[in-house]
Structures are given as C-alpha cells and as structure tokens.
Amino acid sequence: MAIPMARPREFNVETALEQAMEVLWTKGYEATSLDDLCEATDLSRSSLYATFGSKRKLLLRSVESYVERRTPNIAAILARPLSIRDAFAALLQEFIDQIVAGPGRRGCFLGNCAAELPRSDRAALAQVRQGLGRTEAIFRDALARAKTRGELSSDADVDALARFLTAGIQGLRLVGKVNPNRDALKDIAETMLRCLGEQPQPPATRKR
C-alpha cells in the first residue's frame, strides 16, 4: 500500500517569520496576541504552532532572523572606502533619516526586546545579547582596521570604543522613539563621533 505523501506547506516560512517579526517589533512581545500573529502571517493557530512551536519560540526565531538579515547592512556601510569617522557618520545619518521619516521610530528590535523581556528569561536575553554582540564585533573590526590605517591613536581601545558605539546607537534609536527631532538626534550623533576624532576643518582662505 502506498504511503500518502505529506502535504507541502502552502506558505513561505521565512516570509511568515518576517511578517510576525514586524508585528512583534511594532507592538511589543507582551502586547502582541496570537490573533495578531495569525492575522499578520495569514496562518491559523494550529499552523502557527506547528511551524514555530509557541509565541516565545517565534520571538526567538524573530531575533535570529533580525540579526541575520540586518547586521550585514551595517557591515556594508562600514566597509565603504571612507574614513572611520565618515563611515560611522554615514551609519548614524541613515538611522536618523529612518527615525525622522517614521519607520525608524519603532527603535531597534533587539533593544526593544532587551528592555521588555523579563530578567528570568535567560535564554531569550542571551540571544538578544548575542545579537548585540554581532554588531559590536562589526564595529570592533572596522575600528581595528582604522587603527591600522592610522586613523585612530595608537593607544585607542577598540574594544571599549565598539561597546560605546553599540550602546550609543541603541540610545539614539531609543530617544528617536519619543523625540524624532533631527537637530536633537544630530547633536547626539556628533557627540558620539567625537570619540573617533574631531571633524577636519577646511583650510582657511587667504584674504587678498
């Protein structure tokens, strides 16, 4: 007797995961209901559970997907043929533009999760910490390359700078949720950039 073949899924798991993440990012983990997730993914509760296991497991998958999809964008900006200060200025400018335009006012998905998840959920917090660590590692590598090129002082602590810039960007995006004022955000960014050296001043023009 022929064994019946399993019915293939009629949806793309990665697409459903992205749709679920958008809801979790916008509403927050606690405020997001199963009905919200079902509506966003166009899945029934049984299909949602069969695919992701639970709401919490779906959150963990979302954090993993967020890091895998968005971290390369940061690396690409810092890999541009720019000075380290200009490269970070471009990165900060992109975040500010997103905040002012509206889509960036949700903050960072990792930062939101870090603020909302209970301290008792060590596994989830560890995954968020690893995600932030990926960004910090990208910063560290870019800073180390800049130090080799002589753009940073010989005694610059690239580990400390990477941690500071990671925390600073989280703070910038948090402030942007409640105060999307471009001038205020630019002040924050300029203060952060000072740790990478002062902006070179154009040569003064001689008076004739």
Computed over every residue of the chain, the mean pLDDT equals 90
- Return the percentage of the chain with pLDDT > 70, whole number: 89
How much is the pLDDT for 199?
Answer: 60
Q: In this predicted model, what pLDDT tens digit does every residue of 158-173 receive, in sequence order?
A: 999 999 999 999 999 9
Q: Is the pLDDT of residue 206 over 80?
A: no
How far apart (Å, rounded) are the C-alpha atoms in residues 105 and 51?
30
How much is the pLDDT for 208?
Answer: 47
pLDDT mean over 120-132: 93
How much is the pLDDT for 197?
Answer: 79
Supply the angle between the helices 45-52 and 55-78 in degrees, to the nearest 10. 60
What are phi and psi for residue 57, nearest 5 degrees?
A: -65, -35
Q: Is the pLDDT of residue 24 over 50?
A: yes
Q: In this predicted model, what pLDDT tens digit does every residue of 166-200 receive, in sequence order?
A: 999 999 999 999 999 999 999 999 999 999 976 65
Least confident of 11-20, 62-71, 121-130, 192-201: 192-201
- Return the percentage of the chain with pLDDT > 90, whole number: 84
How far apart (Å, rounded) are the C-alpha atoms in residues 193 and 89?
7
The structure's pTM equals 0.85
Question: Any residues with CB less than 8 A from the CB of 171 and at least 6 apart, and which?
Answer: 188
Sketch out the chain's domains with CATH numbers. Answer: 59-196 (1.10.357.10)
For residues 92 and 5, the model is more confident at 92
Give the CA angle between residues 164, 169, 175 to the nearest 5°.
125
